[in-house]
Amino acid sequence: MNLPSPPSRWFCFRAALELPSWLRLGVATLLLFLPLWNTGGLFGESTRPAGIPDGFVDLKKVVPEIQIDLKYVTAENFTGEPVDGYTANRCWITRQAALKLALVQAELRPYSLGLKVFDAYRPQSAVDHFVRWTMEPNQVAQQQTYHPGLLKTELIEKGYISDRSGHSRGSTVDLTIVDHADLHQGAPRELDMGTPFDFFGPQSAGAYPGLSVQQRSNRLLLKTIMERHGFKGYSKEWWHFRLENERYPETFFNFPTGGTALPQRSKQD
């Protein structure tokens, strides 16, 4: 007798999202705090360097399972060089946003899925670096990889680069989903989202029509679970999410990721 095939984890995940919110939150919270019980400080604040403001935490200390791949610490980004302000390979974010991401991670865990973060808090000095970079001559290799259809000078006009960034307020994150059951060179493989992180072009828009069915499903999965936990996406970048009730809505911080405070920049500056 042939038994029916078990439902795919994608189907199971969609079914789980339909559970009552109180039950889903309770299960996610339990899954979150059990692995953190013996981490030596839930928020990682005991190891926070001087100059990191109160309310910011090291995301890896809060949720060790989250994959961290900070692109701007290295030259593996659209500028082709390490970015100003990224003086340490530590992913800072507000405590509220970190706890929300922990709940997202907890919901993904039973399906062998998880989060991978490319950027969170971004110093204002890094934002200034991006603006200066747009005024420099085009780099052919970087343009082919990150913005093949646009010149540097068009990136500000098109809304991909600005002199202000929500990342500098500490509750915005760039991320994707990885599959822990599908390893590539020992690391969980990223789900296919249709474009890489920081690809500047219409293909990165969440609703871009030229995606495959699987790519659309992957983007929808990321968008759905992030929105369920209080984040709002950015229509031009599938990877970009801001916590709606962010802690510092009026302040653009400018401390390096390795510590030592620089002057803050208020919304009115």
Residues serving a catalytic function are 237
114 — phi, psi (to 5°)?
-165, 180
Contact present, 200 and 218 (Cβ < 8 Å): no
Contact present, 98 and 61 (Cβ < 8 Å): no
